[in-house]
Chain A
Amino acid sequence: MQRTALQVFAVPIVLGALSAIGLVAALLGDDVWDYVSWLALGVPCVVMAWFWFGAGRWLRRREQE
């Protein structure tokens, strides 16, 4: 299996865009803007934890079964 650049970078681009939204949102206002920021920047953090601590492996094993 060889993935194209788009396939390799698809998830990182989505996570990067979410990070950018998260970084900017809280600058623009309080309350709702803060929630958007926490959510958008929270997703990359959850993704890191998910794959790092093995949940991703669990998911793949289920797919294989």
Chain B
Amino acid sequence: MPTRSAMRVWSKIHTWSSIISTVFLLLLCITGLPLIFNHELNHALYDEVEPAQLPADAPKANLDTVVANGLAKLPGHAVQFMFWDRDEPELIWLSVGKAVDSDPKDNRLLKLDSRTAQFLEEVDFRSRITYVIYRLHVDMYAGLPGKLFLGLMGLLFCVAIVSGVVLYWPSTRKLDFGTMRRDRPRLVRWLDLHNLLGVVTVVWALTVGFTGVINTWADLIFKLWQNDQLVAMTQAYKDRSVPQGPTSVDGAVAAAREAMPGMQPSFVAFPGNPFSSKSHYAVFMRGETPLTSRLLRPALIEAETGKLTDSRDLPLYATALLVSQPLHFGDYGGMPLKILWAAMTIATIVVLITGLYLWVVRMRRRRAARPAVRAVFAAAQH
């Protein structure tokens, strides 16, 4: 058993890291809970135009036709990104801006059929309640500072978990695992519940907490990759002018597929976009398993000639971000995993609330004890 004074320090660490972060962690858990089912909620709450029913092996449409059909709905705009969802291969999404280099924050989202190239609908996702919940969860509508602040709260959460595990020992050493002293006052009962749920969720909470922290650094990691690997890959094209009438995106994706057999396109950044250079299509290829489907490998395709000029594995820091995403979202093991994710989230909410209650009661007791202590000291002096 660590010494009494060491435990006092751990107790202080646990108390303060929790107090500072609890309100924000409650926000993150309560908004995170519906976000686990984001996809299902959007399907249930909003009428969505479904793609045609075709056999699974129906041939894919030419991507240039997809772009043309998309832009026909938004004349004068430019496609910035084209992307696919591994779970819905019958769809292609276009992220369209006023120009190819306009701020992607204002982009409009078009949904098309990947087999017929038919335009299905524009998805006004920003007007949806799920988007409001998403923004509250990700940055509280405060942009990068909001993200980084929540990241800091996430780090405090991790500190609270680790210090909580240390305190679990003296707190339960006289009890069997999972003992709930139901006939005792609420303070004791809630301490037992706090200990039980806290210690059982440790590994999940640390994983989701820390991968969440890594996600708050996504913008910074992207900037780093852009200035590091992307610049190195496109150095020779620095002084080229923008290609007039770039070649086919269908050809660019075909060239990337040829260079990386067995891999699928995840998204394409169009020439002039921050994910690419003004002279290239950047085709980000993915693998086929739940894990490798998140690990991207960019192929740069010269827009004028349609030839592959460079392809490299992402640096470790970018791979770390990509691996941390599924581990935070819980979206890689079907509906049962999502339900388990929700159960763990609810348990975490209970840990937060019981923890807050324990602190409030102890504070109140200490405050109530103070005049008594003072009286004792006063009496002793006389």
Contacts and interface: CB of A to CB of B under 8 A. Distances in A.
A9 B169 CA distance: 8
Nearest to B192: A51
Interface string B189-216: 0000100110111111001000000000
A2 B333 contact: no
B174 A56 contact: no
A34 B168 contact: no
B204 A38 contact: no
B347 A48 contact: yes
A28 B289 contact: yes
26 contacts: A2-B173, A8-B169, A8-B172, A12-B202, A16-B203, A19-B207, A23-B204, A23-B207, A23-B327, A26-B290, A26-B333, A26-B337, A27-B291, A28-B289, A29-B290, A30-B290, A37-B333, A41-B340, A42-B336, A45-B344, A47-B200, A48-B343, A51-B177, A51-B178, A52-B196, A57-B182
Interface string B140-183: 00000000000000000000000001001100111011111010
Contacts of B174: 1-3
Interface residues of A, number: 38
Interface in A1-47: 1-3, 5, 8-12, 15-16, 19-20, 22-23, 25-30, 33-34, 37-38, 41-42, 44-45, 47
B333 A20 contact: no
The contact size tier of chain B is: 35 or more
Given A12-B168, A16-B203, A41-B204, 20 more contacts: A2-B174, A8-B172, A19-B202, A19-B204, A19-B207, A22-B340, A26-B334, A26-B337, A28-B290, A30-B290, A34-B336, A38-B337, A41-B337, A42-B336, A44-B201, A45-B340, A48-B196, A48-B201, A51-B180, A51-B196
A52 B290 CA distance: 34
A24 to B, nearest CB: 9
Contacts of B165: 12
Nearest to A18: B203
B332 interface: yes
- Of the candidates B173, B200, B202, B204, the one having the most CB atoms from chain A within 10 angstroms of its own CB is B200
B334 A47 contact: no
B333 A44 contact: no
Contacts of A8: 168-169, 172-173, 177
B203 to A, nearest CB: 4
Interface of A: 1-3, 5, 8-12, 15-16, 19-20, 22-23, 25-30, 33-34, 37-38, 41-42, 44-45, 47-48, 50-52, 54, 56-57, 60
B272 interface: no
B274 interface: no
Contacts of B1: 5
B326 interface: yes
Interface of B: 1, 165, 168-169, 172-174, 176-180, 182, 193, 196-197, 199-204, 207, 289-291, 326-327, 332-334, 336-337, 340, 343-344, 347
Contacts of B344: 41, 44-45
A16 B337 contact: no
Contact of B204 (A28, A30, A44, A54): A44
Nearest to A55: B178
Contact of B337 (A15, A34, A44): A34
A3 B173 contact: yes
A27 B337 contact: no
B322 to A, nearest CB: 12
B178 A56 contact: yes
Contact of B202 (A1, A16, A37, A56): A16
A25 B334 CA distance: 13
A60 B165 CA distance: 25
Nearest to A50: B178
A10 B343 CA distance: 23
A54 B193 CA distance: 11
- Of the candidates B333, B334, B343, the one having the most CB atoms from chain A within 10 angstroms of its own CB is B333
Contacts of A34: 333-334, 336-337
A38 B202 contact: no
